[in-house]
Amino acid sequence: MHATDQKKTPLYDVHLRSGARMTSFAGFVLPLQYTSILEEHLAVRTAAGMFDVSHMGQIRVSGPEAHTWLNRLLTNDLARLSPGRCQYTLMLNPQGGILDDMVVYCFASHRWLCVVNAANIEKDVAWMHAHAPADVDVRNESDRWALIAVQGPRAIEVLNPIVQADLHRVRYYHFVETVLEDVPIVCSRTGYTGEDGFEILCPAEAAPHVWTVIARAGESAGLRCCGLGARDTLRLEAGMRLYGRDMDETTTPFEVGLERFVSLHKPDFIGRASLIAQQERGIPRCLIGLEMVDSGIPRHGYAVMNAAYHRVGHVTSGTFAPFLRKAIAMALVASSAQDRTFYVDIRGTARHARRVSLPFYRRSR
């Protein structure tokens, strides 16, 4: 894709004025970093960081049968949700492969919002339209909205004074419709970093103002503007999967350790029969955590071998973890590989790694 074909978020000019180093991601031009990935990563772990995640898609679903239909389309159980709550869930193909992962917001039984991955917006909308009944309206509203994430242990200290709602009352995976300096926003206690924090949905045209107000309010708390680089290292430390790397249409939720977001007790949803069949015959692969013992950074696609040096899988995501100060990776390997010792082929050399539990990092609550 040529640079001229890439999309820009409503905050593009703000990033340029701030001196951000830009990069291409999922068809968008987005900030990779402002200062350094290390500094931004540590700011989120110890204070607060702010991210432009406006590339994420927003799909509005409405109609009298919206609730019933979405529950047949997605893996998690929407019956658990009441207005003001949101839920992480998956959308599958009939074979059980993951079409996308998303967060679904319940505004009312007839009004929902799906926040989806940027690279999958068109695919998701087409899939939903193809399966929606006549009385369910599916609309791609991605161009209408901006999404700003404020993450870290001091996130609530930054945001609470500048919004009308009391964010202390907003529980994890709940949201509130409120106002930030005369701008109507939806503020959810969600995120992709492993830290406490919030994601703010606001009208696209108001995004530069909202960003500036939050940046100003966060100065005394050590808030830093952050880019995609830190977002990736943070989510990997927290063991959070990335669509297109750790999972895709060729993997099922069971293979990548997301079974807790699958409600098999529901009467039916797309892909359910295939998941039950896979469960009965045995899950062939599993996503594991690896911590490097030898030097070297495991990268996406690198071969993973067992203790006998036989290839058993590959790295899906890997990096040097700034807060943990060690090289880590998630890898998709054969379920039969029960070793604690593995090797990663790093530029032709087998480097020793040990299997560890996911997530690599868990915040103290």
Element (H, E) at 136: none
Contact between 73 and 270 (Cβ < 8 Å): yes
Amino acid at 49: G
Tell me the two tokens of residue 44. Answer: 């989120």
* Secondary structure (DSSP) of 204-272: GGGHHHHHHHHHHHTGGGTEEEE-HHHHHHHHHHTT---BTTTB-TTS-TTTTT-GGG--TTSS--TTH
For the chain, where are the alpha helices, taking DSSP H only?
12-17, 37-46, 66-73, 121-131, 155-159, 207-217, 228-237, 272-281
The fold of the 284-356 domain, in CATH, is: Elongation Factor Tu (Ef-tu); domain 3 (2.40.30)
Per-residue pLDDT, 4: 57
Question: For the chain, which ranges sit under pLDDT 70?
Answer: 1-4, 365
Per-residue pLDDT, 364: 82
Angle at 6 between CA 29 and CA 320, to 5 degrees: 35
User: What pairing do the DSSP bridges indicate for beta strands 48-52 and 223-226?
Assistant: parallel
Maximal C-alpha separation, the chain: 63
Per-residue pLDDT, 207: 98
Q: Where are the domains of the chain?
A: 284-356
Per-residue pLDDT, 1: 44
Global confidence as pTM:
0.96
Per-residue pLDDT, 233: 98
Cα radius of gyration rounded to whole Å, the chain: 21
Report DSSP state, residue 175.
E
